[in-house]
């Protein structure tokens, strides 16, 4: 427990098989109390059981603070609402990774790096040819990120970390945009150094060689906001995966590639795609959203209201609040009328009044409205989770870097309670 922000408070007492043990407790900078069980097994022979790690602090971190009861999210101490209103994705990326808001010189250097490393090796383009046109872009994204380690073999755990961070941040948007172009059979559009991070991504996705394409300001701003809101979320499934893989001293590209795979799942980042699939289903079924509320309440149906519920937020997700307002604004500015937005709002309204959702503290999460904005922006559904990955990248990097810089960090290796067969003798095939 080496962080000076962690103060040793009282001890906790554990009585196990009539024997009493004292366990140190620590308090973080926001008053959260943790019981240090690192010596538990060696002292008592017992371990803790915490399926889904809902009560396990896997690390100390100074990056992101969430108070799920109050709906608070802060990056490095700055409220998400302020960053969403006043900052931009490049600055937020710097803040997360390096711990402070950059001054002018630092920002210029960072921006220069982000633009001047955005090309991918021409040989990497050949990899795209090997994927079928139906390949999900998340599969392509994770493969391509992993393959970056082949192009930067010096990218080992102890490599020039800062350079690899810049490389990865700047190349991910090129990789993502190329995978989209490949899926629609259009020629790749190369990155441009004069554009912002978000505008460059949109330019690479939507420009075609036959005409001049100016990225509309409304799209650039909408994407920048989405990326900021997704940039970090402490020890969620994909971030814990990045730390887990990184804890074996795997290189940055390998660790992030694993995080991309974890994000893909429909219970995590893949939910934004599933929300639209769900809303389309409701629309095609005559818009009877009450039927789907009832289905979500019926455990036998296995149907879940996608974009609803969160492990940590038990009041509201501050990101969803910002995005709901943004969805209205962006659709209006783009002149898009989307019946899906009305279905989503109706679903939310009725669910928030329903005892099933109230008792379980189920509220819309960040994915509930993000898909509607992406749709209005012309981004295809199977690219939604890729956009999420683009946003989450600085958070993953910051967490990987923090773990790497933590003195005495150990390989992640949880234990288990074995519930299988006890010892038995092998039976020859003819006797089974
Ligand atoms: N629809 C209907 N019921 C739900 C939903 C939902 N979306 N989410 C949770 N519940 C119910 C569960 O069935 C459970 O009910 P029970 O107590 O009667 O058994 C109760 O609410 C608690 O849910 P858990 O699944 O135990 O909560 P957990 O913290 O493990 O899971 C999760 C959180 C995965 C986000 C869950 O709410 C869910 O599957 N939501 C839908 C998928 C989704 O939107 N994921 C995106 C999350 S945000 C992100 O990752 C970026």
pLDDT digits (tens, 9 = 90+) for 341-365: 889 989 999 999 999 999 999 999 9
- Kindly report the protein residue whose alpha carbon is nearest to atom 49 of ligand 1: 268
pLDDT (0 to 100) of residue 2: 47
pLDDT digits (tens, 9 = 90+) for 88-102: 999 999 999 999 999
Instruction: Check: CB of residue 259 under 8 Å from CB of residue 236.
Output: no
pLDDT (0 to 100) of residue 188: 95
Give residue 308 CA to ligand 1 midpoint distance, Å. 7
Same domain as 212, residue 111: yes
Sequence-separated (6 or more) residues with CB below 8 Å from residue 180: 137, 205, 380, 383, 386
Give catalytic residues, as residue numbers.
310, 367
Same domain as 217, residue 127: yes
In a domain, 220, yes or no: yes
Pocket test for ligand 1, best of 56, 237, 309, 384 (most atoms within 8 A of CB): 309
Specify the pTM: 0.94
Same domain as 259, residue 117: yes
Instruction: Check: CB of residue 42 under 8 Å from CB of residue 28.
Output: no
Instruction: Check: CB of residue 387 under 8 Å from CB of residue 223.
Output: yes
Same domain as 360, residue 277: yes
Same domain as 162, residue 86: yes
Instruction: Report the side by side order of strands in the sheet with 72-75.
Output: 64-67, 72-75, 78-79
In a domain, 152, yes or no: yes
The atom number, within ligand 1, closest to the CA of 296 reads 2
pLDDT digits (tens, 9 = 90+) for 157-198: 667 889 999 999 999 999 999 999 998 989 999 999 999 999
Residue 143 parent element (H or E): helix 137-151
pLDDT (0 to 100) of residue 133: 84
Domain end marker among 214, 247, 265: 265
Same domain as 319, residue 261: no
In a domain, 247, yes or no: yes
CATH of residue 359's domain is 1.10.230.10
Same domain as 317, residue 243: no
Domain end marker among 329, 355, 377: 377
pLDDT (0 to 100) of residue 323: 94
Same domain as 232, residue 92: yes
Give residue 126 CA to ligand 1 midpoint distance, Å. 40
Is the CB of residue 297 below 6 angstroms from any atom belonging to ligand 1? no
In a domain, 25, yes or no: yes
Helices 161-184 and 122-129, packing angle to 10 deg: 40
Same domain as 190, residue 166: yes
Token reading at 239 = 């971030």
CATH of residue 207's domain is 1.10.580.10
Give residue 324 CA to ligand 1 midpoint distance, Å. 20
In a domain, 165, yes or no: yes
Domain end marker among 265, 283, 313: 265
How many angstroms separate the CA atoms of 63 and 229, rounded? 14
Q: Residue 206 to residues 117, 197, 201, 225, 372: CA-CA distances in angstroms?
A: 21, 15, 9, 19, 18
In a domain, 131, yes or no: yes
Is the CB of residue 367 below 6 angstroms from any atom belonging to ligand 1? yes
**Domain total of the chain:** 3
Task: Report residues of the chain scoring pLDDT below 50.
Answer: 1-2
Token reading at 166 = 């810049």
Q: Residue 49 to residues 40, 46, 52, 213: CA-CA distances in angstroms?
A: 12, 10, 10, 56
pLDDT (0 to 100) of residue 393: 98
In a domain, 295, yes or no: yes
Is the CB of residue 363 below 6 angstroms from any atom belonging to ligand 1? no
In a domain, 18, yes or no: yes
**CA nearest to 372, candidates 429, 293, 306, 421:** 306
**CA nearest to 329, candidates 245, 219, 419:** 219
Same domain as 251, residue 343: no
Same domain as 123, residue 175: yes
Sequence-separated (6 or more) residues with CB below 8 Å from residue 372: 276, 279, 327, 331, 338, 340, 341, 344
Same domain as 45, residue 96: no
Q: Which structural domain range is residue 26 located in?
A: 2-49
Give residue 304 CA to ligand 1 midpoint distance, Å. 8
How many angstroms separate the CA atoms of 47 and 171, rounded? 43
Is the CB of residue 309 below 6 angstroms from any atom belonging to ligand 1? yes
């Amino acid at each position: 427990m080496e962080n000076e922000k962690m103060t040793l408070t009282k001890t906790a007492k554990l009585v196990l098989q009539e024997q009493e043990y004292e366990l140190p407790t620590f308090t973080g900078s926001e008053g959260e109390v943790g019981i240090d069980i690192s010596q538990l097994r060696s002292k008592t022979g017992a371990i803790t059981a915490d399926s889904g790690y809902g009560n396990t602090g896997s690390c100390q971190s100074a990056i992101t603070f969430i108070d799920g009861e109050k709906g608070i999210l802060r990056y490095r101490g700055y409220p998400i609402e302020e960053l969403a209103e006043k900052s931009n994705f490049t600055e937020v990326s710097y803040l997360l990774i390096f711990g402070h808001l950059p001054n002018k010189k630092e920002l210029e250097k960072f921006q220069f790096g982000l633009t001047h490393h955005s090309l991918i090796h021409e040989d990497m383009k050949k990899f795209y040819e090997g994927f079928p046109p139906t390949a999900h872009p998340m599969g392509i994204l994770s493969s391509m990120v992993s393959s970056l380690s082949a192009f930067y073999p010096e990218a080992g755990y102890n490599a020039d970390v800062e350079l690899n961070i810049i490389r990865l941040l700047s190349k991910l948007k090129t990789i993502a945009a190329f995978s989209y172009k490949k899926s629609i059979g259009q020629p790749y559009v190369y990155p441009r150094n004069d554009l912002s991070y978000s505008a460059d991504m949109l330019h690479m996705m939507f420009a075609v060689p036959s005409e001049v394409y100016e990225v509309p300001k409304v799209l650039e701003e909408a994407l920048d906001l989405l990326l900021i809101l997704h940039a970090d979320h402490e020890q969620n499934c994909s971030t814990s995966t990045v730390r887990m893989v990184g804890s074996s001293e795997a290189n940055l590209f390998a660790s992030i590639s694993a995080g991309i795979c974890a994000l893909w799942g429909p219970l995590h980042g893949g939910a934004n795609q599933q929300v639209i699939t769900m809303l389309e289903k409701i629309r095609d079924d005559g818009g009877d959203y009450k039927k789907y509320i009832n289905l979500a309440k019926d455990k036998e149906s296995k149907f879940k209201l996608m974009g609803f519920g969160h492990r940590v937020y038990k009041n509201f997700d501050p990101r969803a609040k910002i995005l709901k307002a943004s969805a209205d604004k962006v659709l209006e500015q783009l002149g898009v009328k989307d019946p899906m937005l009305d279905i989503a709002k109706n679903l939310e309204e009725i669910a928030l009044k329903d005892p099933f959702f109230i008792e379980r503290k189920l509220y819309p999460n960040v994915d509930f409205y993000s898909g509607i904005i992406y749709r209005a922006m012309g981004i295809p559904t199977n690219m939604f989770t890729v956009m999420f990955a683009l946003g989450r990248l600085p958070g993953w990097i910051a967490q990987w870097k923090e773990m790497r810089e933590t003195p005495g960090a150990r390989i992640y290796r949880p234990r288990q309670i074995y519930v299988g067969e006890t010892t038995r003798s092998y039976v020859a095939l003819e006797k089974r």
